[in-house]
Amino acid sequence: MTATASLLEFNDVHVHFPIRQGLFKREVGRIRAVNGVSFDIKRGQAFGLVGESGCGKSTVARAALKLEEPTSGSIRYAGEHVSLLVGPAMVKYRRKMQAVFQDPFSSLNPRQKAGQIIAEPIRVHGLKPPSQIKAEVHRLLDLCGLPTRFEGLYPHEMSGGQRQRIGIARALAMNPELIVADEAVSALDVSIQAQIITLLEDLQRELGLTYLFIGHDLSVVRHICDHVAVMYLGRIVESAPSEELFSNPTHPYTRALIDAVPNPDPAVEAGRHVEPLAGEVPSPANPPSGCVFHPRCPLATDRCRTQSPDLQTIEPNHDVACWNSPQAKATPTTAQRNLT
């Protein structure tokens, strides 16, 4: 499906969590989980968000789902400010955006059978008459590659891949436009991952879905996503079409992530020399000055230690936040232009 109009837009979004101490719970600091994130997801696109654990990916997902309120910045869905949605408009928004979570066991009610889990959102939102709900549950099970007998099984009676298919069927019950897949295959065996990825791709083609796909397995993200953004310590440091990003990584952090992926050819892997990143990820409660990556960057200069780089366009749709990128030009990104 051709990606055209914007569906989800983040404009300079910050999400901070207060650190409170003492008897009166005074605020003594802040966790800067998301620190000025901007991106634009087109309709029909599979947009990937990658980075190390703790970089803010899941907080971005929760902000998109309106489970966390941004400290500042704006989130638009189909042109509407999400923060302004209340009442019926909020219910309508909930239907259009659904989530598939990382752990298919903890995200399903262990006291409900699969049929009840899938039927519940249909019943609560009144999407089908009671007499048609059972048939709709069967349709969704079939759509997700499960026989109808699974409606009578509890989550503990299924494998991890089967539980994740139930989670996908539950998300599809609302007939959404966008699905947030937060590490949706990382808890599964490799062979099962391939099946779920194929299912997600088939559903995107059949239903015209848009994905915000969050993960840390770069091979999975490269396979399923059209466009990929790389996050580090609450900020996007590089964003590009998938093939462009993996064939021409520009930011030192992006290059380090890609270099860390083993080559499937043993001969090639034996001849590779990978220089691991030095140090640890800084705390989001006390991020470094300047470029957040400079304490671990082999290219860092004095400017990197004092000035924070903005995303700059170096190729069409390819943006990078790095003072020392050989291709960087002082061209503002689309998101930056929208903010001015």
- Strands 178-182 and 97-100 turn out to be parallel
Q: What is the pLDDT of residue 326?
A: 62
Over residues 62-121, the pLDDT tens digits come to 999 999 999 999 999 998 999 888 888 898 898 999 999 888 888 899 999 999 999 999
Identify residue 276 by its one-letter amino acid code.
P
Identify residue 165 by its one-letter amino acid code.
R
Q: What is the pLDDT of residue 331?
A: 43
Say if residues 212 and 178 touch (Cβ distance below 8 Å): yes
Domain 6-263+279-339 indexed as CATH 3.40.50.300: yes
* Whether residue 330 has pLDDT greater than 80: no
Q: What is the pLDDT of residue 327?
A: 58
Over residues 115-169, the pLDDT tens digits come to 999 999 999 999 999 999 999 999 999 999 999 999 999 999 999 999 999 999 9
Q: Residue ranges of the domains in the chain?
A: 6-263+279-339
Tell me what percent of the residues of the chain surpass a pLDDT of 90: 66
* Whether residue 24 has pLDDT greater than 50: yes
- CA dist 245 and 75 (Å) reads 25
- CA dist 2 and 62 (Å) reads 27
Backbone angles phi, psi at 165, to 5 degrees: -65, -35
Distances (CA, A) of 130 to 119, 127, 154, 167, 289: 10, 9, 22, 21, 58
Mean pLDDT of the chain: 89
What's the average model confidence in pLDDT over 193-198?
Answer: 92
Q: What is the pLDDT of residue 338?
A: 40
Tell me what percent of the residues of the chain surpass a pLDDT of 70: 94
Assign 226 a pLDDT band (cuts: 50, 70, 90).
very high
